[in-house]
Amino acid sequence: MSSITFKNLTKCFKSTIALDRFNLEVKSGELIALLGPSGCGKTTTLQLLAGFTSPDRGRIIVNEQVISSPEKSLPPEKRNMSLIFQSYAIWPHLNVFDNVAFGLKLRKIKKKELQERVFQALCLVHLEKLAHRYPAELSGGQQQRVALARAVVVEPQILLLDEPLSNLDAGLRETMRNEILSLHQRLKLTTIYVTHDQTEALTLADKVVVMAAGQIQQVDTPENIYERPATELVANFIGRCNLLPAKVRSRNSVQVDEIIFQVPDIAENISLGDSVSLCIRPHAIIIQPLPNFQPEKVNHLRTRVQSSKYFGEFREYQLKIEDNNTIVTARSHPDINQKPGTLVDIFIPIASCRVLRSQFP
C-alpha cells in the first residue's frame, strides 16, 4: 500500500488551466473519489498520477519519493500502478485467462505462479468458470470484471479507475459498485476513483474530492460532503438542494424575503448583513397536517403545493410559501400524496439549515 501527496500541482493545455494548485493527501489504503463535472480536472489529475503527462508546476510524491515534477517524471511502467479505463481496453482476440495474464507475461512470471495468480484474480471477481471465454461472449459487467482482475493480478501499489462504470446500465452499475467496494475492502489498495456520478462517489469513497475549474472545492467524508457542503457549488452538485438567497440577521438567524429562519451558529467568516445562501436538502423538510401548524414556532411555514412527482421511493413536491414568492423542493414518503393546490404545513429543523457564502453577493 502507498500514500500519495499532491503538492501545488498545476497543469495547463495551451491557454486552458486544467489543474490549478491542486493539493491533496491520500493515506495508504484509502479509496478517494475525484468528483466533478466534465472539464473540472479530475481526469488530468489521474493522468498526471499515472505518468502519462507531466505537471507544469508542483509535485506528486508516493511513499516519500517524487514521481512527478516539471524537472523529472518516473515512466508509467515504473510506478507500480494499474489503471482501469472507461472502455475496459481488454483484448478482443484473447480469452479471459490470457487477458488477465497479459501483464504477468510481460513481467516474465513463471508459468506455475502465473496460473495461480490469474486463478486467484479471477476468483476475486467471480470469473473463474469463464476463463476460456472471449470478450465477445461476455456481458458488459463481465468485461469490466476482466479489467478489474487484470488490474489487480500484477499486485499494484495503487489502483486508478477512470469512469469505470459509465458504459453500464443502471442495474449493472450498482452491481459493479458493490464488486469494486468488496474488492477494495479485501485488498486495501490505495485507490483513486474518477467519476462524475455522485452516487458512485458517496457509496464507494472513504473521502470525496469535489472539483470545479481545476480546483478543489471540498475534501471530506461522503456524509459531510452531503450534509455540510462548504460551497454553493458543492451543495448544488451533490444531490438536490434548495439554495435560498438570504441576509444574515444574527449569529443564529437569516432572513429570506420577509421570513426569518433560525439556523445553527454561522461561520466566523460570515458577518451580520452579508448576503448568503440558505441550503436546505429536500428530504429535511417535514410536511405536516394543517391542524398541526404552529406559526409561532421557528421554521414552521404554510405552503401550497405547486406540483407533485412520483419517483417510486419518494414523492417530490414544489411548494410555494404562502404570501411569498419563495418556492422550495421537498420530499415525502411515496404513500403521502399531496395534490397540486393543496395547502400544507412544513417544518425545517434548525440542524438541517446550512448557511453558505453567496456566490453572487
pLDDT of 120-138, one tens digit each?
999 999 999 999 999 999 9
Q: Per-residue pLDDT averaged across 96-107, rounded?
A: 94
- At residue 174, the pLDDT reads 87
Instruction: Give the orientation angle of helix 96-106 with respect to helix 140-152, to 10 degrees.
Output: 20
| Calpha distance 342→126 (Å, rounded) | 53
Which pLDDT score is estimated for 278? 95
The model's pLDDT over 282-306, given as tens digits with 9 standing for 90+, comes to: 999 999 866 655 555 789 999 999 9
Q: At 113, is the pLDDT very low, low, confident or very high (cuts 50, 70, 90)?
A: very high
Cell, residue 173: 452499475
pLDDT tens column, 32-66: 999 999 889 999 999 999 999 999 999 999 999 99
Beta bridge partners of 162: 194
In 3D space, the residue among 150, 5, 4, 157 whose CA is nearest the CA of residue 78 turns out to be 157
Higher pLDDT, 235 or 269: 235
Ranges 142-151, 162-171, 251-260, 331-340: which has the least confidence: 162-171
Q: Give yes or no for residue 192 having a pLDDT over 90.
A: yes
- The answer to whether the CB of 52 falls within 8 A of the CB of 76 is yes
- What's the pLDDT score for residue 306? 96
What pTM was computed for the model?
A: 0.89
Residue 306's CB is within 10 A of a number of other CB atoms, namely 14
* Under 8 Å between Cβ of 5 and 20: no
Q: Is the pLDDT of residue 160 over 70?
A: yes
Pairing mode of beta strands 286-288, 343-347: antiparallel
Q: Average pLDDT, whole number, for the chain? A: 91
Residue 208 to residue 193: CA distance in whole angstroms: 9
- Per-residue model confidence as pLDDT tens digits over 329-346: 999 999 989 999 999 999
Structure confidence at residue 109 (pLDDT): 92
Residue 184 has pLDDT above 60, yes or no: yes
Compute the average pLDDT of residues 316-341: 92
pLDDT higher than 80, residue 183: yes
DSSP annotation string for 2-70: --EEEEEEEEEETTEEEEEEEEEEE-TT-EEEEE-STTSSHHHHHHHHHTSS--SEEEEEETTEEEE-S
241-251 pLDDT per residue, tens: 999 999 999 99
Alpha-helix residue ranges (DSSP H) falling in the chain: 42-50, 96-106, 111-124, 140-152, 170-187, 198-204, 222-227, 232-237
At 113, is the secondary structure helix, strand, or coil? helix
Q: Are 139 and 88 in contact (CB under 8 A)?
A: no
pLDDT at 361 over 50: no
Number of residues assigned to the chain = 361
